[in-house]
């Protein structure tokens, strides 16, 4: 009986492993084809694969182990760590400035008040300082943890290799966070935010797919549902889905209440976000805005295919990870991610 159970469990494990392997191979192939088509594999600004091969060979293992342990204990961290990397890169580039605890820092700005995952970065950094002191930047930890928390954890495989070699910035100002796109932005506003960071329409659509996991504060959604005391639902919102959102986010909503960004499969990193958009079930106004442009809507259609989504997301994450990075002798390597020059 016991050995039969073990055999069944073993077959189950193999099936999962085979699926993950097949998925991974398809993504790598799709990724290479997409890169070739776009004339990419563009020069990166001083980053490299395995930048720490000699100085911290165990880096990937340490980041993955700590991140997976923490996400297993608290699944909400998957979305938090992915968003942390995005909010780091869009303000001053991917330089870990979002982590700094200084007066009027980025962290204190409105759009960052619901950002989290800082304690995971601290835990990883603590371990790294024991193994390879003063070597690995906080900005690289943020980039690695984003992938491992949101994507590698689910697939038990890394869908893309994170380029490393970023260094940490020393400036963190709430007043710089205007570079972050607003959830109430229309299509043109979103595209402008992205192009200001060197990212294009494809990146905007692919990266918005991050909203296949995680939550939004009700306050990010209620303006779509209620205006003043009257009920005036955003016409871009499916009526039945609007009712679901209203149940989760009444008017007024209790402080701190949240709603899933992907109403169907909120903790799965899959392509259902794009299927939702086609049904007018995007949770944020900025999600719905993607359907208001013909080229973006066509991309949404393409990315309902999970293999295409994983390939496009991987490529755009690498691009986002290169935004205004500090490399070479610029910036610093912090020992404590929350403090400049520590
Ligand atoms: C296209 C422009 C974007 C806008 C306007 C936007 C806006 C938002 C907003 C308002 C929230 C909810 C915050 C709250 O109310 O508490 C959110 C959550 C989230 N965003 Fe975005 N976002 C955008 C793009 C991205 C990108 C590029 C990524 C990552 C690659 C990302 C990853 C996430 C994740 C994972 C969450 C859930 C966080 C959690 O569960 O704690 N977003 N986003």
Q: Judge if the beta carbon of residue 210 lies within 6 A of ligand 1.
A: yes
Residue 72 pLDDT = 97
**Alpha-carbon torsion angle 34, 144, 61, 22, nearest 10:** -30
What distance in Å separates the CA atoms of residue 231 and residue 226, rounded to the nearest whole number? 5
Query: What percentage of the chain has pLDDT greater than the value 90?
Result: 84
Q: Judge if the beta carbon of residue 222 lies within 6 A of ligand 1.
A: no
- Residue among 81, 84, 216, 274 whose CB has most ligand 1 atoms within 8 A, to mutate: 216
Q: Judge if the beta carbon of residue 74 lies within 6 A of ligand 1.
A: no
Residue 181 pLDDT = 98
Residue 232 pLDDT = 81
Query: What percentage of the chain has pLDDT greater than the value 70?
Result: 86
For residue 280, give Cα distances in angstroms to 89, 144, 160, 186, 253.
Answer: 29, 33, 30, 15, 23
Window from 19-28, 85-94, 260-269 with minimum mean pLDDT: 19-28
Higher-scoring residue by pLDDT: 25, 76: 76
- Helix and strand totals (H; E) in the chain: 14, 4
Residue 227 pLDDT = 75
C-beta separation of 209 from 271 below 8 A: yes
What distance in Å separates the CA atoms of residue 163 and residue 320, rounded to the nearest whole number? 11
Q: Judge if the beta carbon of residue 82 lies within 6 A of ligand 1.
A: yes
Residue 4 pLDDT = 40
Q: State pTM to two decimals.
A: 0.90
Quickly count: other Cβ atoms within 10 Å of residue 264's Cβ.
Answer: 14
Q: Is the pLDDT of residue 23 over 60?
A: no
Q: Judge if the beta carbon of residue 114 lies within 6 A of ligand 1.
A: yes
Ligand 1 center from residue 215 Cα (angstroms): 8
Q: Judge if the beta carbon of residue 257 lies within 6 A of ligand 1.
A: no
DSSP 43-72: PPSS-BTTTTTTT-TTHHHHHHHHHHHHHH
Q: Is the pLDDT of residue 15 over 50?
A: no
Encoding tokens for residue 243? 């009712």
For residue 16, give Cα distances in angstroms to 31, 67, 148, 161, 304.
Answer: 22, 21, 18, 22, 22
Among 31, 64, 80, 87, which one carries the catalytic annotation? Answer: 87
- Quick one: which of 241, 259, 91 has its CA closest to 180? 91
Q: Does 87 participate in catalysis according to the annotation?
A: yes
Binding positions for heme b are 211
- Residue among 81, 83, 143, 299 whose CB has most ligand 1 atoms within 8 A, to mutate: 83
Quickly count: other Cβ atoms within 10 Å of residue 172's Cβ.
Answer: 26
Binding positions for Ca(2+) are 88, 91, 93, 95, 97, 106, 212, 262, 265, 270
Encoding tokens for residue 307? 């293999």
What distance in Å separates the CA atoms of residue 50 and residue 60, rounded to the nearest whole number? 9
Ligand 1 atom closest to residue 114's alpha carbon, by position in its atom list: 16
What distance in Å separates the CA atoms of residue 72 and residue 66, rounded to the nearest whole number? 10
Please name the residue that has the structure tokens 């997409």.
34
| pLDDT class of 316 with cuts at 50, 70, 90 | very high
| pLDDT class of 341 with cuts at 50, 70, 90 | confident
| pLDDT class of 326 with cuts at 50, 70, 90 | very high
| pLDDT class of 22 with cuts at 50, 70, 90 | low
- Residue among 142, 210, 315, 321 whose CB has most ligand 1 atoms within 8 A, to mutate: 210
Average pLDDT, the chain: 90
């Amino acid at each position: 009986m016991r050995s039969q159970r073990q055999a069944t469990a073993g077959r189950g494990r193999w099936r999962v492993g085979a699926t993950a392997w097949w998925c991974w191979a398809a993504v790598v192939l799709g990724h290479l084809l997409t890169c070739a088509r776009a004339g990419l594999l563009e020069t990166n600004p001083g980053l490299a694969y395995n930048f720490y091969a000699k100085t911290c060979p165990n880096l990937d293992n340490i980041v993955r182990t700590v991140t997976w342990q923490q996400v297993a204990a608290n699944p909400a961290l998957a979305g938090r760590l992915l968003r942390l990397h995005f909010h780091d890169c869009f303000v001053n580039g991917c330089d870990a400035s979002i982590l700094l605890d200084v007066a009027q820092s980025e962290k204190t700005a409105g759009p960052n008040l619901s950002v989290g995952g800082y304690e995971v970065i601290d835990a990883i950094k603590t371990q790294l300082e024991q193994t390879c002191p003063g070597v690995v930047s906080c900005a690289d930890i943020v980039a690695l943890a984003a992938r491992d928390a949101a994507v590698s954890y689910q697939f038990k495989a890394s869908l893309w290799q994170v380029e490393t070699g970023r260094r940490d910035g020393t400036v963190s100002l709430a007043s710089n966070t205007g570079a972050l796109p607003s959830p109430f932005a229309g299509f043109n506003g979103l595209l402008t935010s992205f192009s200001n960071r060197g990212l294009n329409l494809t990146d905007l659509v692919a990266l918005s797919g991050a909203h296949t996991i995680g939550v939004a504060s009700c306050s990010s959604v209620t303006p779509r549902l209620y205006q003043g005391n009257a009920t005036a639902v955003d016409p871009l919102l499916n009526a039945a889905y609007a009712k679901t959102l209203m149940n989760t986010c009444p008017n007024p909503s209790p402080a701190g209440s949240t709603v899933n960004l992907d109403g169907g499969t909120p903790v799965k990193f899959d392509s259902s976000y794009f299927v939702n958009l086609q049904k007018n079930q995007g949770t944020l106004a900025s999600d719905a805005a993607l359907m208001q442009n013909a080229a973006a809507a066509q991309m949404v259609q393409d990315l309902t295919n999970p293999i295409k989504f994983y390939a496009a997301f991987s490529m755009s994450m690498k691009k986002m990870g290169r935004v205004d990075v500090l490399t070479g002798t610029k910036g610093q390597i912090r020992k404590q991610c929350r403090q400049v020059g520590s």
